[in-house]
């Protein structure tokens, strides 16, 4: 009877048991469903980032729209083709001095053609200036040149948008005298700035003449006065087949078809100088096309093999600018006959004698698309202002109009992760510089310095945090008295509630100046505090046992606080004396000028300290829990077998807790990698590749926080920032996955202890 009563007492009623099973099942499925939702959310984040990033690596898409006979007829060769911003009006300049306006989409004329030359003259040369100004010039057979400017006026009659091309004469309707001897001009280059213009021409007798025109505006009646000065330049040894003048009117390039080029400095128009003479194609090859890349810094030189070389000036060992070949595009096309440059990007289109047009980008060193446009050789190609279309004229007298979808040509794997030789740089470098005030700017989207900065910040933070957090957790869990542990652990854990923006603010505005002012003392702390601790321990052992035994077991650490404070005070007090004795009274200046180490006030040391304090609570709490929760029988069994406390700790406790310790380090590393505000406020936020402790950095997360609000949605900059987020996501995913695998192996290895 008692047995039956006991059984009834231990077995719950059927209703309660069913309720308990239902609750257990509900909890199990709820937790499982929650896990599935978490995984789904992470997967959705990944696929959304991928969705934004993928368009960066898609090729260009060029499609034909129309093909029609040349507006104005094919009797005269085309000298220049241009379109307005929205591709509503096209302009064709001919070699015989006429201009025709037409609709690019179908070739229909927009009014009658016009003759642009003065009476009784003949055009012998033509030049187009910078596309942003719309300047063109005709060289005449009497030694003069006529300069014109094309603009597009937009009106809205009856609320209908109307684009009207307008021709003007910015230097006056009278042709400008270039050659006083009146010889025909055979080659011509023209550029106009706000206050001056320049014309460079060759004559049929082999002379090279620079004409500099200064515009002066009267304050009384706004009348414009032109001052014209002529200077004869040293004629190149070879015939001049190409003349290029940069838009700043500083450098002149004169090249022959057989590949010899002379470079002139015309910054002072009265005293031009030949600064370099070189061969720009291989022996036996010829130059088939030569033009400026947007910005007029780089030259694109096509040779008879179909290769296109990019050249730009680079400073040599003597600090002299020398034209240098930077990269080569092996087009795989036939002989390139025309190169059309994108007006606002570092891209270009190359047309060859096989009727094909290729689309390229210089910074990305990338072929984006190559299309067969005509069965006849292409004579001339012109790119629309937004690079969303092009006009190609073939030898049969037809004009082909194609649209282009090419949103992100400046991105390639080499441009993102490799060294790139940017314009005006002395050598290839890793550079992040996403914006500039000039349209000629070459975007620099290297993620390498950002990824490096992320790892650098995390490394120094973990270097500071891991020893303090893990050693502190070991002592707290294993040696500290329970009462003291109940005070210490919550105190450290509550540090995690401190906002990182506060830590970053304090690090940038308070800690950085203090460390800079007391740098020798800060580094002395690394020596004085351990030595002070060891000295205190040695002196403690010398004290009589009846004194040391008065301190309760586990409270010993409290006695170290005065020793650490005294050691720190001594190090900081001796810091200025060491600085005067060894570093000339200013250690940061000594590092910069004597040791050759660049010093920034907000550097990796500051980030390591500030971010370390942010990471310590996480690593400490998880490590302390892992050690404290090691079963007591393992410790007691080890001590019973004769092992010391230290042997038990190192060979039993830490090994058993190693999965938890490793997980704590991995989570702390993930926190350090993803930290934003501390890095943003405690560093110079400069994307430099320098592992120095005294240099700052820019991390992936900080870069996203700084630049995302100002990036245009859908732009290359915008998508590259999402790519940075994807890289950060992938990095943390890989680290956490690897950490979990290692943790599981450690757990299985030491679970049998």
Q: pLDDT per residue over 675-710, tens digit each?
A: 888 998 888 888 888 888 999 899 999 999 999 998
Report the pLDDT averaged over residues 511-531.
92
Q: How far apart are the first and last CA of the chain?
A: 45
The CATH code of domain 448-517+598-750 reads: 1.10.3720.10
CA atoms of 514 and 560, how far apart (whole Å): 25
Least confident of 120-134, 141-155, 191-205, 733-747: 733-747
Assigned CATH topology for domain 72-279: Methylamine Dehydrogenase; Chain H (2.130.10)
**Residue 235 in this model has a pLDDT that exceeds 90:** no
556-585 pLDDT, tens digit per residue, is: 778 888 999 999 999 999 999 999 999 988
Q: Which among 313, 390, 318, 323 has a CA at the least distance from the CA of 350?
A: 390
Q: Strands 444-445, 135-140: parallel, antiparallel or unpaired by DSSP?
A: unpaired
Residue 267: CB atoms within 10 Å:
12
Confidence grade of residue 283 (pLDDT, cut at 50, 70, 90): confident
Instruction: Identify the pLDDT of residue 328.
Output: 94
Q: Do domains 72-279 and 285-429 have the same CATH topology?
A: yes
Please give the pLDDT value at position 1: 45
- Tokens 């014309």 identify what position? 199
* Cβ count near 156 (within 10 Å): 8
The answer to whether residue 5 scores a pLDDT higher than 70 is no
Return the number of other C-beta atoms located less than 10 Å from residue 206's C-beta: 12
The side-by-side arrangement of strands in the sheet containing 78-83 is: 78-83, 90-94, 98-102, 114-115
Residue range 151-176, pLDDT digits in tens: 888 888 888 888 888 888 988 888 99
pLDDT of 293 reads: 95
Q: Token pair of 280, please?
A: 């720009």
Strand order in the sheet with 273-279: 242-245, 251-255, 260-265, 273-279
Give the residue, 1 or 346, on which the prediction is more confident.
346
Tokens of 47: 């696929």
Residues forming beta bridges with residue 325, ordered by sequence position: 311
Q: What are phi and psi of 303, to 5 degrees?
A: -110, 180
pLDDT tens-digit map of 14-43 = 888 888 888 888 999 999 999 899 999 999
pLDDT tens-digit series, residues 467-515: 999 999 999 998 888 888 888 899 998 888 888 889 999 999 999 999 9
The dihedral formed by the CA atoms of 443, 445, 446 and 447, expressed in degrees to the nearest 10: 170
| Separation between Cα atoms, residue 21 and residue 27, nearest integer Å | 10
Query: Could you give the percent of the chain with pLDDT greater than 90?
Result: 58
How far apart (Å, rounded) are the C-alpha atoms in residues 680 and 607? 10
Q: What is the CATH number of domain 285-429?
A: 2.130.10.10
pLDDT at 219 > cutoff 80: no
What whole-number distance in Å separates Cα of residue 520 and Cα of residue 517? 9
- Hey, what are 341's tokens? 């440059």
Task: Give the pLDDT confidence score for residue 110 in this predicted structure.
Answer: 87
Arithmetic mean of pLDDT over the chain: 89
Percent residues over pLDDT 70 in the chain? 96
- What are the residue boundaries of the structural domains of the chain, listed by start? 72-279, 285-429, 448-517+598-750
Number of C-beta neighbours around residue 318 at 10 A:
6
pLDDT in tens, 406-440: 999 999 999 999 999 999 899 999 999 887 756 67
């Amino acid at each position: 009877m008692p047995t039956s009563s006991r059984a009834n007492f231990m077995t719950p009623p059927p209703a309660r048991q069913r309720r308990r099973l239902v609750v257990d099942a509900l909890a199990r499925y709820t937790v499982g469903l929650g896990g599935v939702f978490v995984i789904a959310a992470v997967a959705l984040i990944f696929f959304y980032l991928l969705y934004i990033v993928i368009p960066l690596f898609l090729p260009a898409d060029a499609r034909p729209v129309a093909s029609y006979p040349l507006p104005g007829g094919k009797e005269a060769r085309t000298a220049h083709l241009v379109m307005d911003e929205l591709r509503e009006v096209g302009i064709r300049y001919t070699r015989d001095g006429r201009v025709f306006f037409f609709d690019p989409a179908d070739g229909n004329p927009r009014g009658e053609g016009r003759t642009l030359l003065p009476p009784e003259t003949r055009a012998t040369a033509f030049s187009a200036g910078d596309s942003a100004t719309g300047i063109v010039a005709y060289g005449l057979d009497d030694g003069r040149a006529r300069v014109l400017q094309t603009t597009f006026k937009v009106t809205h009659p009856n609320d209908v948008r109307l684009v009207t091309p307008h021709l003007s004469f910015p230097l006056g309707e009278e042709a400008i005298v270039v050659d006083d001897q009146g010889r025909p001009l055979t080659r011509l280059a023209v550029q106009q700035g706000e206050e001056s213009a320049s014309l460079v021409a060759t004559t049929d007798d082999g002379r090279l003449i620079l004409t500099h025109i200064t515009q002066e505006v009267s304050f009384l009646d706004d009348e414009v006065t032109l001052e014209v000065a002529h200077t004869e330049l040293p004629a190149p040894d070879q015939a001049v087949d190409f003349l290029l003048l940069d838009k700043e009117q500083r450098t002149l390039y004169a090249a022959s078809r057989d590949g010899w080029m002379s470079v002139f400095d015309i910054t002072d128009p009265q005293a031009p100088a030949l600064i370099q003479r070189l061969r720009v194609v291989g022996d036996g090859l010829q130059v088939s096309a030569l033009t400026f890349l947007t910005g007029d810094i780089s030259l694109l030189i096509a040779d008879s093999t179909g290769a296109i070389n990019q050249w730009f000036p680079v400073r040599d060992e003597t600090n002299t600018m020398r034209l240098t070949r930077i990269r080569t595009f092996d087009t795989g096309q036939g002989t390139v006959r025309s190169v059309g440059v994108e007006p606002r990007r570092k891209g270009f289109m190359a047309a060859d004698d096989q009727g094909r047009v290729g689309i390229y980008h210089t910074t990305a060193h990338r072929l984006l698309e190559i299309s067969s446009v005509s069965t006849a050789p292409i004579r001339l190609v012109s790119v629309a202002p937004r690079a969303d279309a092009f006009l190609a004229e073939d030898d049969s007298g037809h004009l082909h109009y194609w649209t282009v979808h090419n949103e992100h040509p400046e991105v390639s794997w080499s441009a993102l992760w490799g060294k790139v030789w940017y314009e005006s740089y002395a050598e290839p470098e890793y550079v992040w510089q996403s914006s500039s005030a000039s349209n000629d700017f070459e975007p620099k989207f290297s993620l390498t310095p950002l990824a490096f900065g992320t790892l650098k910040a995390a490394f120094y933070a973990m270097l500071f945090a891991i020893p303090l957090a893990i050693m502190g957790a070991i002592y707290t869990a294993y040696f500290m008295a329970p009462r003291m542990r109940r005070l210490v652990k919550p105190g450290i854990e509550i540090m995690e509630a401190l906002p990182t923006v506060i830590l970053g603010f304090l690090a940038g505005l308070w800690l950085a100046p203090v460390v800079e002012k007391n740098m020798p003392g800060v580094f002395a702390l690394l020596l004085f505090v351990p030595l002070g601790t060891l000295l205190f321990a040695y002196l403690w052992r010398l004290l009589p046992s009846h004194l040391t035994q008065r301190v309760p077991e586990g409270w010993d650490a409290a006695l170290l606080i005065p020793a650490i404070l005294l050691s720190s005070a001594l190090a900081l007090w001796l810091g200025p004396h060491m600085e005067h004795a060894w570093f000339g009274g200013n250690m940061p200046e000594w590092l910069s000028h004597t040791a050759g180490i660049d010093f920034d006030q907000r550097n990796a040391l500051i980030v390591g300290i500030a971010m370390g304090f942010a990471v310590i609570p996480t690593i400490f709490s998880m490590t302390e829990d892992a050690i404290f929760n090691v079963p007591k029988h393992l410790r007691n069994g080890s001590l019973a077998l004769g092992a010391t406390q230290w042997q038990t700790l190192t060979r039993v406790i830490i090994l058993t807790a190693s999965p938890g310790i490793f997980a704590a380090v991995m989570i702390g590393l993930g926190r350090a990698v993803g930290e934003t505000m501390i890095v943003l406020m405690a560093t110079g936020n400069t994307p430099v590749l320098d592992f120095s402790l005294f240099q700052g950095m820019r991390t992936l997360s900080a870069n996203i926080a700084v630049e995302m609000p100002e990036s245009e949605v859908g732009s290359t900059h915008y998508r590259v920032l999402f790519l940075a987020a994807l890289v950060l996501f992938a990095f943390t995913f890989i680290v956490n996955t690897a950490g979990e695998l290692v943790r599981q192996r450690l757990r299985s290895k030491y679970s049998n202890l």
